[in-house]
Structure 1
Amino acid sequence: MKRLLVLSGLALAAIVSMPALAVPSISATIDLDTVFAGNIPDGAAPWLTATFTSEQGSHSGTLTLISNTYGSDFLQGLNSKKSTIGWTFYLSQTITGIDCTSGTCADNGAAWNAGGFNSGPVPGVFNLAFGWSSGNRFESGDSVVYDLTFASALTGDPFVLNESDWLSAAHVQGIIGGCSGWIVSGTGRAQGGTPCTTTFTEVVPEPAELGMFGLGLLLTGLFVGLRRRYS
């Protein structure tokens, strides 16, 4: 009996001293580095980066959005559930809560919608979208952190390709020269983009116009000279 108690004590001590089994983590990075249509944003790709972290079995995770754009480039959009978005994703899980914890929060909308959002020319359904107002645009160097709550426990990365093989899409506006473009992340087929160029036409005066201008200067000088002489 004594020996049994000793063995039981040793077994219990071994169990207590065993390190806790690590819960597998979930970590994903989404780089928007491809122009689907429109104009090429300023700066180097990726122009936008999203990171998601969580643990398997958890009902929540942290999503961080970062703008790597340059100059006057910005994101806006999402005035209602199905209006054109600023930045959108496709999820395989239903979201029950979206809470902005820091950064440039999407004050004009942050929503999950199973029916999908209008993502402009980019095909496929996107069901998580973020939009900013004109007075609070998501600009170069900005970032924002969201806590996402899911209806079911996570078994892996919930950010997946939609039926058109896109993970994410965004509408970049304010590109230097007054242009905009749609950028994406995924393996789908993009249309491609072009640089934003602004052509300035130099107006060259005609010879007759130059002559009249010179005559005007001469008469003005003569008038000023006479006025000083007789004042």
Structure 2
Amino acid sequence: MKRIPALTGIALVALTVLPLQVAATPISTTIALNTVFSGNTPDGPAPWLIAEFTSSTGSNTGTLVLSSHTTGPDFIQGLSSQQSTVGWAFYLNQAISLSGATCTAGTCADQGASYKAGGFNTGPVPGMFNLAFGWSQGNRFMIGDSATYALTFTSPLTGNPFVENDSNWSSVAHIQGIANNCSGWIVSGDGTGAEGSGPCGDPPPVTVAEPGELGMLSLGLLFVGLLLGLRRRYS
């Protein structure tokens, strides 16, 4: 008979814990940078950069994978300390702060993942971005590169922590090394004002001589040839 209270207690614990476990739902989001805000269009088809975040509700941790899908010599650089221009930045819901980030694989940013509630300088793109990554000149984030980060938050997640800022942009990156030594700012989100100028350094158009011009040139060459022939004959 003494086993009954113990079994009852176990049943109550199971009834309390199991619903909490069932209530935890997966969190999965993909951020694709496929719009040129200003400057020039990166080499290769869009999206040029992709970030994928996975976690679950009620968890304090998540995994962020950054990957480059550019082609050619394109790269990301830019350091993220002291509000300087960043290479790649995101906007996190300010209700959930980032307390730690560890790069576990790939081409890790030189200064890790920097979080600043006050935001970073992201060039011409408006709105605040508070999570930034920066690579040095000797450790550029280039074609085919990826980096995996384990993120730790100050409070349990209730949903996707990556959201759009007050200008409706969720991510921004400065792509350099575009063919012909050009660069551009690319973004992800529903904001407005993007005015990319397209490919840069297009070769000048080839001027093809008109038929009439070709005829005059041929006659001129023929006349010069005749003069040279007569000169040799009577010299």
TM-score by length of 2: 0.77
State the match for 2:64 in structure 1: 63
Calculate percent identity across the aligned residue pairs. 59
Structure 2 residue matching 1:152: 3-state secondary structure:
coil
The answer to whether the 8 Å contact 1:166/1:187 transfers is: yes
Q: Which has the larger share of helix?
A: 2
User: Is 1:94 aligned with 2:83?
Assistant: no
Matches within 5 A, 1:133-152: 133-152=136-155
Shift of 1:79: 4.9
Select 2:201's aligned residue among 175, 197, 200: 197
Q: What amino acid does structure 2 have at the position aligned with 1:196? A: C
Paired residue type of 2:198: T
User: Given residue 81 of structure 2, which amino acid in structure 1 is its aligned partner?
Assistant: S
Which structure 1 residue ranges, 4+ long, deviate > 4 Å from structure 2? none
Residues 76, 201 of structure 1: alpha-carbon distance in 2 compared, 3 angstrom cutoff: same
Q: Which residue of 1 aligns with 2:109?
A: 106
Residue 183 (str. 1) matches residue 186 (str. 2): yes
Whole-angstrom distance in 2 between the partners of 1:108 and 1:198: 36
Task: Determine the C-alpha separation between the residues in 2 that align with 1:118 and 1:9.
Answer: 60
Q: How far has the Cα of 1:78 moved from its partner?
A: 1.5
| Contact residue 78 and residue 109 of structure 1 kept, 8 A | no
CA contact (8 A) 1:70 1:140 kept: yes
Structure 2, unmatched stretches of 5+, are: 207-235
Relative distance call for 1:200 and 1:163 in structure 2 (3 A) is: same
Inter-partner Cα distance in structure 1 for 2:163 and 2:117: 14
TM-score, length-scaled by structure 1: 0.78
Which stretch shows the higher mean deviation, 101-110 or 52-61? 101-110
Q: Secondary structure at the match of 2:139?
A: coil
- Per-residue Cα deviation, 1:119-151 (whole angstroms, up to 9, x for no partner): 000000000000000001000000000011111
C-alpha change, 1:79 and 1:127, in structure 2 (3 Å) is closer
Given that 2:80 and 2:133 are in contact with CA atoms closer than 8 Å, whether structure 1 keeps it comes out as no
Equivalent residue letter for 1:34? T
Shift in CA distance, 99/126, structure 1 to aligned 2, threshold 3 Å = same
